[in-house]
């Protein structure tokens, strides 16, 4: 075994330059997160796993807790959320905190726009969002509103539709989700959701 | 062309030139298969002074085969594999092995015994999968016959025949009988008189009688071909009463039940490596100089002027390596999460490959109770969610056996199993099993399940592309971009079969030879025309 790994090292050394990368390393046991959410949690639309790098630590922590408690990822119309829930349901609160701390440290390029929608109609809708999420989508920790820039547009669309259709924010235990649901009543169609997401992506 | 059908044309040729002319004409028209397979591609050998290097990303069947052919040509190969094991979807579990399901890993609880194993992914090889059989031969992987169908196994459907399981032989015999009776009747009612001569109609009716075991008067009244309700060694045989035509038409057995042994990839006899399908993986690894580097998760792939640079993470450490060529076996839908500098059309092609959902359960049974029912190997089909029960055809009459208790292809059904805990899955599977074999649950000692769309580093199986994407992107992905080649069953017309993975590897190595002959060695004979 020793000989074998030595040989492997030799081969690698022969063909490689071992570069010191500046990326945030993945803590042991959390490789799972990067399988779906991608390198440096840059997101992967093919799996429906959104970009997480750039989200505030407190928001990640709250959502992980929501998944753990079945506040998110329990609705049968939330396929991707249902895929996420078993990833955290067995973890302790402290473990979730540690994960959130790591997630907040990752860095990746902001995602490109993938939607073709009417962003000026979205801009008009965004006026009611700005009160909590800020004029530039910068977020406001004091009232629990996360930053919106750097989220994938397709993910914004899914979540806006989930709030609209009672898939997210309908549970009484979901204090912030309920607030968001109430605050997003002006999004009344899939088209609204797409327009709004297109505008938010422009804020990047 | 001439205004005749291909068949008519062949009849003329056959009459004029005898059978060898017929054979040649058949080949020319593509009706019969000239065997085009002459072993794997010979990659243009490296010069002894300047060995090119190749990186293989992913130690699936395609990656392993590509590695072995490149090593044979003198390349310096490095295989990076994200998982704790080589083989990808070719996975066999035994006592103590891990099924690395996302969020709920399972450890196999089977007794420690050689015959107690479960092929979680591939389990059967037909005789025309020439590439795979070549490697089994070349790598010394022993094969045995695997019964893929058993006439004494069952069909079951809650909504047909009062929910009672029906033996396949009974059903097959009755379907043939009833269909032959319809044929006989329409011939008798002069339906074919325009089409055929009187003589030929008589032959057709004779065929119908033989095919269905009909009476002189063209009636199907049951057949001894399906056995007897009496002990046929000591008493006159008495066939069971045939199924009613209407009940047969209402039953849902068309696909699994009738065609289970009819499709080309399932045509009997099938084979399996003795001791488990991972014998193929072990064979490759045994013969490779470069053993796969495990826990090495690829994070970045950059095409460069004259090579490829890849960064992977292993135990929290990043490593960047360069090589002359890169063969990428990673499931394509992961590539959007891996940094790269691919062209937008190449990336769009990768994104067009979608995740598939396959699901299996296996139980360790304390007795091989099915053998007492005359079932030795083969498959029972049911309309219940578990869809199929597979009986082992190896280690007959051993004290215990591993029975495949579910194999589902319907994405909705698979998704329902994916959403359950492992314990819930075993329970659901046992309930369905009871309907086919009353008392089933009491034989279960332990079990394990594998939802492929939830497997670490896999997240799917049976990759799919829409027909439009297929036209648009398949040829793009078959070609290298720079020095980067995509491989895997995903780059074949036969996703879901190891033969497809091997064909993709062969195709990529052909492309490499082309590249080499164009770029490097104009003077030397290349290996592709
Ligand atoms: C339930 C089921 C039944 C099947 N039945 C049969 C059968 O009876 N007969 C048959 O011939 N075939 C069958 N198949 C199909 C067969 O398993 C596949 O065709 C074959 O194994 C695919 O090989 P591959 O090389 O294309 O890719 P894979 O096996 O998918 O290999 C991909 C590899 O890439 C690795 N990887 C992923 N991400 C990374 C990363 N970031 N960095 C490094 N490595 C990474 C993975 O861990 C994996 O090892 C079945 C499959 C399933 C799931």
Q: Which two tokens stand for residue A10?
A: 């030799």
**Please, are residues B414 and B355 in contact by the beta-carbon 8 Å criterion?**
no
Domain B167-251 of CATH type 1.20.1440.240: yes
Between positions 109 and 148 of A, the ones with CB within 8 A of B are none
Report the pLDDT value the prediction gives residue A57, as an integer from 0 to 100.
97
C-alpha span between A140 and A117 (Å, rounded):
27
Give me the CATH topology for the region A113-204.
Cytochrome Bc1 Complex; Chain D, domain 2 (1.10.760)
A98: helix, strand or coil: helix
CA B489 to chain centre: 11
Q: What is the DSSP letter of A25?
A: P
Collect the ranges in chain B with pLDDT lower than 70. 1-35, 253-256, 519-529
Report the pLDDT value the prediction gives residue B252, as an integer from 0 to 100.
77
C-alpha span between B447 and B404 (Å, rounded):
10
CA A87 to chain centre: 14
The residues spanned by each domain of chain B are 1-34, 53-87+280-353+463-521, 92-153+269-274+357-454, 167-251
Residue nearest to atom 14 of ligand 1 (CA): B122
To the nearest whole percent, how much of chain A has pLDDT over 90? 87
C-alpha span between B306 and B134 (Å, rounded):
33
**Please, are residues B68 and B287 in contact by the beta-carbon 8 Å criterion?**
yes
C-alpha span between B86 and B82 (Å, rounded):
9
Which ligand 1 atom sits closest to the C-alpha of B297?
42
The residue behind tokens 């006159």 is: B236
- Partner residue opposite B53 with nearest CB, options A15, A32, A87: A15
Q: Does A1 touch chain B (CB under 8 A)?
A: no
- B273/chain A closest Cα distance in angstroms: 26
Q: Which chain A residues are Cβ-neighbours of B423 within 8 angstroms?
A: none
Among B416, B415, B394, B412, which Cα is nearest to B404's?
B394
- Partner residue opposite A35 with nearest CB, options B291, B293, B457: B457
Residue B382: strand pairing partners: B156
| Nearest C-alpha in B relative to A90 | B103
Which ligand 1 atom sits closest to the C-alpha of B64?
25
- Checking if the pLDDT of A4 tops 90, the result is no
Q: How far is the CA of B90 from the centre of ligand 1 (A)?
A: 6
**Please, are residues B455 and B491 in contact by the beta-carbon 8 Å criterion?**
no
Q: Which chain A residues are Cβ-neighbours of B333 within 8 angstroms?
A: 44, 46-47
Report the pLDDT value the prediction gives residue B38, as an integer from 0 to 100.
85
Asked if the bond preceding B269 is cis, omega within 30° of 0, the reply is yes
Report the pLDDT value the prediction gives residue B24, as an integer from 0 to 100.
53
C-alpha span between B203 and B205 (Å, rounded):
5
Q: Does B293 touch chain A (CB under 8 A)?
A: yes
The residue behind tokens 């997210």 is: A168
Length of chain A: 204
Ligand 1 — pocket residues by CB below 6 A? B 57-63, 80-83, 88-90, 121-125, 297-298, 329-331, 334, 358, 360, 452, 457-458, 461, 488-489, 496-501
The residue behind tokens 């209402």 is: B250
**CB contact (8 A) between residue B102 and residue A87:** yes
Mutate which: A53, A86, A91, vs B, most B CBs within 10 A: A86
Report the pLDDT value the prediction gives residue B259, as an integer from 0 to 100.
83
**Please, are residues A165 and A107 in contact by the beta-carbon 8 Å criterion?**
no
Q: Does B318 touch chain A (CB under 8 A)?
A: yes
Report the pLDDT value the prediction gives residue B251, as an integer from 0 to 100.
85
Among A67, A66, A56, which Cα is nearest to A100's?
A56
B359: helix, strand or coil: strand
B168: helix, strand or coil: helix
| Residue B5, Ramachandran bin (φ over 0: left; ψ between -120 and 50: alpha; else beta) | beta
Among A99, A191, A187, A110, which Cα is nearest to A148's?
A110
Residue A145: strand pairing partners: A140
Q: Which chain B residues are Cβ-neighbours of A36 within 8 angstroms?
A: 102, 337, 459
For A27-104, CATH gives: 1.10.760.10
Predicted TM-score (pTM) of this structure: 0.90
**Please, are residues A176 and A199 in contact by the beta-carbon 8 Å criterion?**
no
Within this chain, domains B92-153+269-274+357-454 and B167-251 share the same CATH topology: no
CB-neighbour burial class of residue A6 (10 A; exposed 0-12, middle 13-18, buried 19+): exposed
| Nearest C-alpha in B relative to A35 | B457
Which ligand 1 atom sits closest to the C-alpha of B86?
49
Q: Does B196 touch chain A (CB under 8 A)?
A: no
CB pairs below 8 Å between A and B: how many? Answer: 120
The residue behind tokens 């002189």 is: B216
Q: Does B300 touch chain A (CB under 8 A)?
A: yes
b or e along B205-214 (b: 16 or more beta carbons within 10 Å of the residue's beta carbon)?
A: beebbeebbb
The CATH architecture assigned to B92-153+269-274+357-454 reads Alpha-Beta Complex (3.90)
The residues spanned by each domain of chain A are 27-104, 113-204
- Partner residue opposite B337 with nearest CB, options A20, A44, A88: A44
**CB contact (8 A) between residue B355 and residue A25:** no
Q: Which two tokens stand for residue A97?
A: 């905190």
- B300/chain A closest Cα distance in angstroms: 8
**Please, are residues B377 and B391 in contact by the beta-carbon 8 Å criterion?**
yes
ipTM over 0.95: no
A175: helix, strand or coil: helix
C-alpha span between B179 and B182 (Å, rounded):
5
State the alpha helices, DSSP H only, in B234-323: 245-250, 259, 279-287
**CB contact (8 A) between residue B78 and residue A87:** no
**Please, are residues B354 and B465 in contact by the beta-carbon 8 Å criterion?**
yes
- Partner residue opposite B297 with nearest CB, options A34, A43, A87: A34
Q: How far is CA A126 from CA A131, A132, A180, B184, in A?
A: 9, 11, 13, 74
The residue behind tokens 């029960």 is: B389
Phi, then psi, of B318 in degrees rounded to 5: -95, 140
| Residue B47, Ramachandran bin (φ over 0: left; ψ between -120 and 50: alpha; else beta) | beta
Among B527, B503, B528, B517, which Cα is nearest to B66's?
B503
CB-neighbour burial class of residue B416 (10 A; exposed 0-12, middle 13-18, buried 19+): middle
Give me the CATH topology for the region B53-87+280-353+463-521.
FAD/NAD(P)-binding domain (3.50.50)
Sign of CA dihedral B217, B222, B226, B227: negative
- A40/chain B closest Cα distance in angstroms: 9
**Please, are residues B459 and B453 in contact by the beta-carbon 8 Å criterion?**
yes
Report the pLDDT value the prediction gives residue B520, as an integer from 0 to 100.
56
C-alpha span between B67 and B71 (Å, rounded):
6
∠ CA B460-B465-B468, nearest 5°, is 165
**Please, are residues B66 and B60 in contact by the beta-carbon 8 Å criterion?**
no
Q: Does A92 touch chain B (CB under 8 A)?
A: no
C-alpha span between B73 and B51 (Å, rounded):
9
The alpha-carbon radius of gyration of chain A (Å, integer) is 19
C-alpha span between B258 and B266 (Å, rounded):
12
C-alpha span between A182 and A176 (Å, rounded):
10
Residue B221: strand pairing partners: none
Q: How far is the CA of B280 from the centre of ligand 1 (A)?
A: 13
| Nearest C-alpha in B relative to A33 | B102
| Residue A144, Ramachandran bin (φ over 0: left; ψ between -120 and 50: alpha; else beta) | left
Alpha carbons within 13 angstroms on the beta-carbon side of residue B475 total: 3
Neighbours of B189 (CB within 10 A): 9
Q: How far is the CA of B495 from the centre of ligand 1 (A)?
A: 9
A96: helix, strand or coil: helix
Q: What is the DSSP letter of B254?
A: I
Q: Which chain B residues are Cβ-neighbours of A16 within 8 angstroms?
A: 319-322
Residue nearest to atom 9 of ligand 1 (CA): B122
b or e along B68-91 (b: 16 or more beta carbons within 10 Å of the residue's beta carbon)?
A: bbbbebebbbbbbbbbebbbbbbb
How confident is the model over B313-337, as pLDDT tens digits?
A: 999 999 999 999 999 999 999 999 9
Q: Does A107 touch chain B (CB under 8 A)?
A: no
Q: How far is the CA of B330 from the centre of ligand 1 (A)?
A: 9
CB-neighbour burial class of residue B53 (10 A; exposed 0-12, middle 13-18, buried 19+): buried
């Amino acid at each position: 075994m020793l000989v074998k790994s030595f040989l492997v090292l030799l081969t690698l050394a022969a063909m490689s330059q071992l570069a010191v990368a500046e990326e945030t390393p993945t803590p042991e046991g959390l490789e799972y997160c990067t399988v779906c959410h991608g390198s440096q949690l840059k997101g992967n639309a093919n799996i429906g796993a959104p970009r997480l790098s750039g989200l505030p630590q407190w928001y990640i922590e709250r959502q992980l807790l929501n998944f753990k408690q079945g506040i998110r990822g329990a609705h049968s119309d939330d396929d991707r959320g249902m895929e996420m829930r078993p990833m955290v349901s067995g973890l302790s609160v402290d473990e979730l905190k540690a994960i959130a701390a790591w997630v907040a440290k990752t860095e990746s390029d902001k995602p490109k726009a993938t939607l073709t929608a009417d962003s000026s109609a979205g801009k008009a809708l965004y006026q009611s969002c700005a009160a909590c999420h800020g004029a530039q989508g910068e977020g406001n920790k004091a009232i629990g509103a996360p930053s919106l820039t750097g989220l994938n547009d397709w993910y914004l669309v899914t979540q806006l539709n989930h709030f609209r259709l009672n898939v997210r924010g309908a549970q009484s235990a979901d204090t912030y989700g309920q607030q968001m649901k109430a605050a997003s009543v002006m999004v009344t169609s899939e088209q609204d959701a797409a327009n709004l997401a297109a505008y938010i992506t422009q804020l990047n | 062309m001439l205004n005749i059908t291909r068949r008519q044309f062949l009849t003329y040729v056959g009459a004029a030139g005898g059978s060898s002319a017929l054979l040649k004409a058949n080949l020319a028209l593509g009706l019969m298969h000239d065997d085009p397979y002459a072993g794997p591609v010979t990659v243009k050998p490296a010069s002894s002074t300047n060995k090119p290097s190749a990186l293989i990303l992913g130690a699936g069947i395609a990656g392993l085969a590509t590695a072995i052919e490149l090593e044979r040509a003198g390349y310096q190969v490095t295989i990076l594999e994200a998982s704790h094991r080589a083989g990808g979807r070719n996975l066999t579990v035994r006592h103590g092995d891990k099924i690395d399901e996302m969020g709920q890993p399972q450890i196999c609880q089977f007794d420690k015994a050689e015959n107690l194993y479960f092929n979680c992914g591939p389990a059967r090889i037909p005789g025309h999968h020439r590439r795979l059989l070549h490697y089994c031969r070349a790598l010394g992987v022993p094969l045995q016959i695997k019964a893929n169908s058993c006439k004494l196994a069952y069909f079951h459907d809650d909504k047909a025949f009062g929910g009672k399981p029906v033996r396949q032989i009974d059903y097959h015999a009755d379907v043939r009988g009833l269909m032959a009776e319809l044929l006989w009747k329409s011939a008798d009612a002069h339906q074919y008189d325009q089409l055929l001569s009187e003589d030929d109609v008589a032959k057709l009716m004779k065929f119908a009688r033989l095919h269905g075991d009909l009476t002189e008067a063209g009636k199907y009244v049951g057949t001894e071909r399906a056995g007897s309700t009496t002990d046929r060694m000591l008493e006159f045989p008495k066939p069971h009463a045939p199924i009613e035509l209407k009940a047969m038409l209402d039953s849902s057995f068309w696909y699994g039940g009738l065609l289970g042994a009819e499709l080309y990839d399932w045509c009997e006899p099938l084979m399996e490596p003795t001791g488990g399908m991972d014998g193929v993986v072990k064979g490759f690894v045994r013969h490779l100089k470069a053993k796969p580097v495990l826990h090495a998760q690829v994070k970045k792939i950059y095409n460069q002027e004259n090579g490829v640079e890849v960064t992977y993470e292993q135990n929290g450490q990043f490593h960047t390596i360069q090589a002359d060529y890169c063969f990428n076996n990673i499931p394509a839908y992961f590539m959007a999460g891996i940094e790269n500098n691919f062209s937008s059309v190449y990336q769009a092609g990768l994104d067009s490959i979608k995740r598939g959902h396959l699901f299996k359960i296996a139980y360790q049974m304390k007795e091989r109770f099915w053998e007492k029912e005359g079932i030795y190997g083969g498959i029972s089909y049911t309309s219940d969610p578990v869809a199929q029960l597979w009986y082992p055809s190896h280690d007959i009459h051993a004290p215990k056996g591993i029975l495949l208790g579910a194999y589902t292809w319907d994405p909705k059904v698979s998704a329902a199993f994916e959403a359950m805990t492992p314990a819930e899955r075993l329970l659901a599977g046992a309930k369905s099993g009871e309907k086919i074999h009353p008392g089933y649950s009491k034989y279960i000692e332990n079990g394990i399940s594998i939802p492929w769309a939830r497997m670490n580093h896999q997240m799917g199986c049976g990759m799919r592309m829409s027909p439009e994407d297929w036209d648009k992107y398949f040829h793009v992905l078959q070609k290298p971009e720079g020095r980067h080649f995509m491989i895997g069953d995903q780059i074949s017309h036969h996703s879901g079969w190891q033969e497809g993975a091997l064909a993709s590897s062969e195709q990529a190595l052909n492309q490499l030879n082309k590249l080499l002959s164009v770029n490097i060695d104009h003077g030397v004979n290349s290996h592709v025309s």
